Structure 1
Amino acid sequence: MERSSLSRRNFLNLAVGAGAASALAACGSSGPGTSGGGSAGAATYWYLTGQPGEGIRKNTVDRFNKANPDSKITGTAYQNDAYKTKIKTAIGAGQAPTIIWGWGGGGLKSYVEAGQVEDLTDWFGQNAAVKDKLFETSFGPATINGKIYAMPAETVAPIVLFYNKEVFQKHGATPPQSWGDIMNLVTLFNSKGVAPFSLGGQSRWTNMMWMEFLFDRIGGPELFQGVFEGKPNAWSAPGAKEALVELRKLIDANGFVKGFSSITADSNADQALLYRGKAAMMLHGTWTYGSMANDGGNFVKDGKLGWMNFPGVDKGKGDPSNTVGNPGQYYAISSKATAEQKETAKKFFKDAVLSDAEVKEWVDSGAIPVAKSSQSMLGASKDAEFLNFVYDVSTKAKSFAQSWDQALSPTAAEALLDNIAKFFQKSIGPDEFISNMNGTIGK
């Protein structure tokens, strides 16, 4: 249940999409699990189409191959949905490429449980410089049962609270510093005929962001960690019901724009409500900054867009610096690859992935790569203020939780999104939500 297009993660470059490339753009003829037709160390690598990501990935492979002519990597690019189907089938058949591109979390966990990917814990221990150059917060979705099974890579995109400065100023409001402030702002903006929060609720995962933050702020990150680890009745852990009760209060208080359950995020209609002043605030991924800058006239250019991390909840266990969203993308190594291919992949991770050249390409595309070296490159951007904010949120978070629908198995994620939609439509309450979700643990 990942976001339907990776372009949303590259939040400043909106002139892209899954349709930017063909369904299958093969860069070589080698099949899955083969040596690539060259030396014993030649490796294979599957990844996603869509610019700018596809071009950056290919450039990284090309630089590596030029420097390592005797152990080249053959890259093959697939569109998002086609890739998910093909990689699942290949891994199930023991025919995976040497390097497996993915989102970490639930998908990676299933590979680990099936014995299909390499344990990289010792390798990272022996290559401390590689680990140290990456955001510490990026390792969560790469870590299963305390061991690291993937290389954090590419870009980061936390969920943040956006607000319309012009609307706030017009009604004498200030950005919320607590959950109590949020509820007070709901009352204020409703009295002024302005929707407190925009929400593309038909997309379901947009509703999930609210639940993620309230679970974290009230119960702490360990609350969902118990769900991820498959602990029995983990959805009943302390803080869960309290978070759901608070969220229900927000829904009952008309905190969201009227008709939110029929608004889609893919259409960007939720963003339009914010930049047109029809809604005062919006909880969303940092990738929406680019589309608001592109579609919202001078809204972003004129400094009318505000942003902040989600505020804390009084007496809650979660640290206000915590965030949720996409901590990165993840490269695993097939356990079925030859020893020589595995060494090629590890050399690729060490020398090519998030090299200075690749980091610059991601930054130039308007994204924040999960490399500490990216900070020094942000100042030259016209969006430096926002990019530095995203960098700080991503690196200073005491916990950066992966989006729940990516952290869980596909079966559990679908049940989660279905129950979240029912909760927001008020067809089920906190107790039924908890009971329903406890029934999905382990599935």
Structure 2
Amino acid sequence: MIIQRSKAGTIGRLILTVLFGLLLMIVPATAKPAGIRISIWTINQPGMDAVGNWVQKKIGQFEKANPGIFIDHSFWENQSYKIKLKVAMFSGKGPDILYNWGGESQLVYSREGLLYDLTGDLGKHRWGLSPGMFATHSYRGRIYGIPIFPTVDVVWYNKELFVKHGWKTPQTWPEFLALCDRIKAAGYIPVAMGGQEAWTILHPYMDIVDRIAGSGLYPAAKARQVSFTHPDFVAAFRILQGLAQRDYLPAEVLSLNYTEATQLMMQDKAVMMFMGDWQYSRLTNQMHRDFDKWDFFPFPVFPGGKGLPRNIIGAVDGFSVKNSKHAKAAVKFLKFLASRDSLIESYQKSGFLVALATPYLDKNARPQLKRIAALLAQATSLTQWWDQDLPEAVTQVLLQSAQDLIAGRCSPEEAAAMIEAAYRKN
């Protein structure tokens, strides 16, 4: 009997082994459905960011309508994203769809043939998107990016505090400085800034250069027609440094990140901030409250300066497609994402303006958003964000020089010289 039980046990174990082996063959097939799997990388985290929520929702809708195509969404903070993306793209492991800001942030890949040419897919009407917004997403007459979110730099302020104290929005730089003195005397921080993230320091610097020298100096320096040590670049650094020296910025400016600086405004501790139009969504908690508490004014002009009041600094953020075997599937999703209904939904959820060619703002749109749209439509020039337009090595020095200047570790002349030296090495 013992021998019979042993044989039975042996046969049983053999059957279990065979069944287990078959199970191993079956499980992987059910864990990863057959089909095309494409990846999209952004700077928008679902749950924390209205645009991230929109992207994730569209992924779900697209997958349901297109069985067999699956989309993986990954996201990182701005600077981390740029570094990870560059490493991945040049190692052949980049995403199928990549978020970028146009300009050099896209050209670095299109020049090397790493991006899919979207010109033919867009057709004559370019999916209903504004034709003028494709300029910074093009290379040698071909289109390598889809413009989605036009952005512009302005000065945001706490309208309730302005009304309470009788402050007026300034039109000139001397008026702005006088306003800062009054705000400081009332016990508030005039300008919120998260200098731990150096790009926040860059915002006013870019505008100051434009207002002093006009829109032509920066592109001339980038084209190496003039040096970044030009007197107007130095003068702009000196003016920027003056904001810190006059105590118009938070005392701990270089220890604060962008989110913490925004909190200073929301807590009524700081009154103004140099920032892009997306700040309205941040200040209203992703368009949920305090809609009338916040407003903006264009960056002030400088008496005797060459910059026009309607010159703007900004970009048109969007998406590009990697040149790969899944490019057509990626384009299919991108066209779905950039459809009119989808973009209007994005605007309604996030408050971010979109690049549609025909009007989409209804009569109930927030006045702030209508004015942002008018500012973009009436702009006399658009200068790309420098940190998205310059070569990466130069950008890193530019950001470091801005922090060093605010910290008092270098002079305006030294900051400008650092950037010029980096460009010559590039």
TM range (shorter): 0.7 to 0.9
Aligned-pair identity in percent equals 24
Residue of structure 1 in register with 2:89 after alignment:
91
Segment of structure 1 superposing worse, 418-427 or 251-260: 251-260
Q: 1:424 aligns with which of 406, 416, 426?
A: 406
Work out the CA distance in 1 between the residues paired with 2:272 and 2:53: 35
Residue of structure 2 in register with 1:212 after alignment:
206
Query: Whose Rg is larger?
Result: 2
Gaps of 5+ in 2: 1-30
Report matched runs for 1:4-403 at 5 Å: 44-48=38-42, 50-51=45-46, 52-54=50-52, 56-57=54-55, 60=58, 73-80=69-76, 87-94=85-92, 96=94, 98-120=96-118, 123=120, 127-130=123-126, 133-134=129-130, 136=132, 138-144=133-139, 148-153=143-148, 155-229=149-223, 231=224, 234-237=227-230, 239-267=232-260, 270-294=261-285, 300-301=290-291, 303-334=292-323, 337=324, 342=327, 351-372=335-356, 375-380=359-364, 384-403=366-385
1:321-363 CA distance string (max 9 Å, x none): 23334522222341xx35xx555555655x5242122113202
Secondary structure at the counterpart of residue 130 of structure 2: coil
Work out the CA distance in 2 between the residues paired with 1:73 and 1:319: 49
Secondary structure at the counterpart of residue 203 of structure 1: coil
Residue 132 of structure 1 and its aligned partner are, at CA, apart by: 6.0
Secondary structure at the counterpart of residue 360 of structure 2: helix
Residue 285 of structure 1 and its aligned partner are, at CA, apart by: 3.0
Work out the CA distance in 2 between the residues paired with 1:212 and 1:316: 14
TM-score normalized by structure 1?
A: 0.74
8 A contact 1:178–1:312 mirrored in 2: yes
8 A contact 1:328–1:370 mirrored in 2: no
1:256-298 CA distance string (max 9 Å, x none): 233323333232xx23433444333222233332343349997
Segment of structure 1 superposing worse, 428-437 or 315-324: 315-324
Structure 1 residues 261 and 128: alpha-carbon distance in aligned structure 2, compared to 1, 3 A threshold: same
Work out the CA distance in 1 between the residues paired with 2:81 and 2:418: 31
How big is the alpha-carbon RMSD for the aligned residues of Structure 1 and Structure 2?
Answer: 3.6
Gaps of 5+ in 1: 1-27, 31-36
1:115-138 CA distance string (max 9 Å, x none): 222455x548x83311762273x4
Work out the CA distance in 2 between the residues paired with 1:424 and 1:103: 26
Work out the CA distance in 2 between the residues paired with 1:427 and 1:95: 39
Structure 1 residues 318 and 149: alpha-carbon distance in aligned structure 2, compared to 1, 3 A threshold: farther
8 A contact 1:218–1:316 mirrored in 2: yes
Residue of structure 2 in register with 1:17 after alignment:
none
Structure 1 residues 131 and 240: alpha-carbon distance in aligned structure 2, compared to 1, 3 A threshold: farther
1:132-184 CA distance string (max 9 Å, x none): 62273x4354244665422213x344332122234334443210011121122
Work out the CA distance in 2 between the residues paired with 1:175 and 1:280: 12
Please tell me the residue identity of whatever aligns with 1:403. W
8 A contact 1:199–1:282 mirrored in 2: yes
Secondary structure at the counterpart of residue 162 of structure 2: helix
Work out the CA distance in 2 between the residues paired with 1:97 and 1:169: 48
Please tell me the residue identity of whatever aligns with 1:258. A
Please tell me the residue identity of whatever aligns with 1:151. I
8 A contact 1:101–1:332 mirrored in 2: no
Segment of structure 1 superposing worse, 422-431 or 43-52: 43-52
Structure 1 residues 43 and 392: alpha-carbon distance in aligned structure 2, compared to 1, 3 A threshold: farther
Segment of structure 1 superposing worse, 418-427 or 368-377: 368-377
Work out the CA distance in 2 between the residues paired with 1:83 and 1:278: 31
Q: 2:386 aligns with which of 394, 397, 404?
A: 404
8 A contact 1:378–1:387 mirrored in 2: no
Work out the CA distance in 2 between the residues paired with 1:251 and 1:147: 44
Please tell me the residue identity of whatever aligns with 1:254. D
TM-score normalized by structure 2?
A: 0.76
Structure 1 residues 144 and 243: alpha-carbon distance in aligned structure 2, compared to 1, 3 A threshold: farther
8 A contact 2:128–2:340 mirrored in 1: no
1:50-85 CA distance string (max 9 Å, x none): 32445533555666677777xx75422113268656
Structure 1 residues 346 and 386: alpha-carbon distance in aligned structure 2, compared to 1, 3 A threshold: same
Structure 1 residues 164 and 67: alpha-carbon distance in aligned structure 2, compared to 1, 3 A threshold: closer
Number of residue equivalences: 389
Structure 1 residues 169 and 107: alpha-carbon distance in aligned structure 2, compared to 1, 3 A threshold: closer
Residue 90 of structure 1 and its aligned partner are, at CA, apart by: 4.3
Work out the CA distance in 1 between the residues paired with 2:413 and 2:141: 32
Work out the CA distance in 2 between the residues paired with 1:197 and 1:92: 39
